[in-house]
Amino acid sequence: MDKDFSNIIRILSIPGVGPRKTLDLFAHFGSLERIFAAGHSELIQVTGIRDVIARAILAPADQNIMSGQLSLIEKFDINLISIWDERYPEVLKQIYDPPIALFCRGNVELLNTKNIGIVGTRTPTSYGKEVAAEFGLELAKRGFTVTSGAAMGIDSVVHRAVLQGSGKTIAVLGCGVDRVYPAENRPLYAEIIKQGLLVSEFLMGTKPDAPNFPRRNRIISGLSAGTVVVEAAERSGSLITAYFALDQNREVFAVPGSIRNRQSRGTNQLIRQGAKLIESVDDILDELGEKFRMGKSAGQQELSISTDPAEATILTHLSATEAIQIDDLSAISGQTTFAILGTLLQLEMKGLVLQMPGKYFKRK
């Protein structure tokens, strides 16, 4: 097994060592090989590397995992593209916690094309399906690669519309690229592999567990110049994608919906918060041309400030006088950074939290 390939698989398989810690370790030691050759005392000098993580890094590589990954990668004809690979998309390197490696099935050239994300509810209305298909197809005709999450509902509608129009699409998964989730999307996956690209940061064989999907969402927005939200309820995963886009200084677009439809409450909320209301693809292109950045404009209506239980819990760990780094907040709250980042961004949108450089947060 190639040493670089082996080290990438090894670092990805260590519990508690996510993208940010891996990049910090790499910046300190200069290579993956030197990370694994370092001693305990050297490792704990790196920010965020505590004793338990240092010991996990020093533990021998699990050869069953290493050989199993190699076997699956060969079986499914996977391209493994690390962040140090010239094929890795530059736009994705710009986010705070870019995935260390992308497992790819299909046309990897799509990673470096003009890209727009479209996301939405798993239970769309007929209106939502119609709009999602129309936007996906029209963006593909205009030369964009259209990215979504291959979930039921809006995601699947978008992928199918693009494929039927002979366009290009990327599906970012919350599981290994050798798994199909949901199972009924097996034919869709097969078409995407032939005409587009399946992408995941998760090791081969990874199950579609709930915590994986917020992580998946940041890649959808990170690959895209802008993210379109078609329909979303108030506590929708699609809103998390939109908040990631905001955090990444990307464009956020929302399709307005009926005030009587609960699936439109999230999109209408985004519009109140400053997302661009769109009625056609031309609205998207006009905004992209103006380098629009989401934010409150003069005279914009303020949101009423209320918090849900998840937000209230995070607020109890924040101080108005001293900022806390997201990794430390994660340790205190007992939640992963990916689980709390969406909540923090919602609090930021509500004007209750201030984000500072280096992913430090404090109460306003």
Residues 6+ apart with CB under 8 A from 85: none
Q: What are phi and psi of 87, to 5 degrees?
A: -85, -10
How far apart are alpha carbons 209 and 189 in whole angstroms?
19
Residue 182, H or E segment: none
What's the pLDDT at 292?
Answer: 31
What's the pLDDT at 270?
Answer: 93
CA dihedral 23, 28, 32, 36 (to 10 degrees): -120
Within the chain, which residue ranges are assigned CATH 3.40.50.450? 105-289
- Asked if 103 contacts 77 with a C-beta cutoff of 8 angstroms, the reply is no
- Which three-class secondary structure state does DSSP give residue 242? helix
What's the pLDDT at 61?
Answer: 93
Q: What is the CATH number of domain 3-75?
A: 1.10.150.20
How far apart are alpha carbons 6 and 363 in whole angstroms?
43
DSSP letter (8 states) at residue 100: S
Within the chain, which residue ranges are assigned CATH 1.10.10.10? 309-363
Residue 134, H or E segment: helix 126-141
What's the pLDDT at 291?
Answer: 41
Within the chain, which residue ranges are assigned CATH 1.10.150.20? 3-75
Architecture of the domain whose range is 105-289? 3-Layer(aba) Sandwich (3.40)
Q: How far is CA 39 from CA 18, 102, 221, in A?
A: 20, 28, 37
- pLDDT tens digit at each of 364 positions of the chain: 455 889 999 999 999 899 999 999 999 999 999 999 999 999 999 988 999 999 999 999 999 999 999 999 999 999 999 999 999 999 999 998 999 999 999 999 999 999 999 999 999 999 999 999 999 999 999 999 999 999 999 999 999 999 999 999 999 999 999 999 999 999 999 999 999 999 999 999 999 999 999 999 999 999 999 999 999 988 888 999 999 998 898 999 999 998 889 999 999 999 998 899 999 999 999 998 854 333 333 222 232 334 567 788 888 889 878 889 988 888 888 887 777 877 887 677 666 888 888 888 888 7
Give buried/exposed letters for 293-312 (b at 16+ CB in 10 A, else e): ebeeeeeeeeeeeeeeebbe
How far apart are alpha carbons 92 and 244 in whole angstroms?
12
Q: Which residue(s) pair with 102 in the sheet?
A: 81
pTM value is 0.80
- Asked if 197 contacts 108 with a C-beta cutoff of 8 angstroms, the reply is yes
- Asked if 335 contacts 309 with a C-beta cutoff of 8 angstroms, the reply is no
Strands (E), the chain: 79-82, 101-106, 115-119, 145-148, 169-172, 197-200, 226-229, 251-254, 276-277, 324-325, 353-356, 360-363
How far apart are alpha carbons 120 and 154 in whole angstroms?
5
How far apart are alpha carbons 143 and 113 in whole angstroms?
9
What's the pLDDT at 3?
Answer: 57
How far apart are alpha carbons 210 and 48 in whole angstroms?
25
Residue 110's closest CA among 66, 162, 61?
Answer: 162
- Domain spanning 309-363: which CATH class is it, in words? mainly alpha
